[in-house]
Amino acid sequence: MNDLGGYTIDDLEVGMKASFSKTITDADIVLFAGVSGDHNAVHTNEAFAARTPFKGRIAHGMLSASIISAAIANRLPGPGSIYLGQNLRFVAPVRPGDTVSATVSVTRVQKDKGIAHLETVCTVHDSLVVITGDAVVKVPRSAGAS
């Protein structure tokens, strides 16, 4: 562990896994629309969204994907890690009231470069996959390591 409570690059091994969950509320959707500027009616207008293939409002994809960021920052590798890249595939909608669980799994560790590769998956209702992808993160070294 590093002095922030996260893993160091030397702690990481392929197969390590961690999750973070958050329930997406109406307030989260409204606030995300305000912060991002994405006021697409499929997120903010129930009457409009009811006429779409989704048959109701859905959360912004990037709001749902932000739970992956929380899993990386808070769980694995944890505090001190730096996001370098993320690929995402949105495969099912997230609706207001859904609890999104993001699971990150170490798939490769480049100890010499201080970089970890992660598989990223978000689910709702315990098993419905809504987002898949992979991430690359910079991970702190042990204190005193070169």
Task: Give the rounded distance of the alpha carbon of 56 from its chain centre.
Answer: 23
Instruction: Report how far residue 141's alpha carbon sits from residue 146's, in angstroms, rounded to the nearest whole number.
Output: 8
108: three-class secondary structure by DSSP: strand
Is there a cis peptide before residue 77, judged by omega within 30 degrees of 0?
yes
What are the extents of the domains in the chain? Answer: 17-24+60-138
Q: What is the DSSP letter of 11?
A: T
Instruction: Report how far residue 21's alpha carbon sits from residue 40's, in angstroms, rounded to the nearest whole number.
Output: 25
Q: Which of 66, 38, 73 is nearest to 122 (CA)?
A: 66
What integer pLDDT is reported at residue 35 of this predicted model?
Answer: 97
Which fold does the domain 17-24+60-138 belong to in CATH? Thiol Ester Dehydrase; Chain A (3.10.129)
Residues in the chain, pLDDT under 70 = 143-146
61: three-class secondary structure by DSSP: helix
What integer pLDDT is reported at residue 146 of this predicted model?
Answer: 52
Express each pLDDT in 98-130 by its tens digit. 999 999 999 999 999 999 999 999 999 989 999
Kindly report the number of other CB atoms within 10 A of residue 144's CB atom: 5
Instruction: Report how far residue 111's alpha carbon sits from residue 126's, in angstroms, rounded to the nearest whole number.
Output: 33
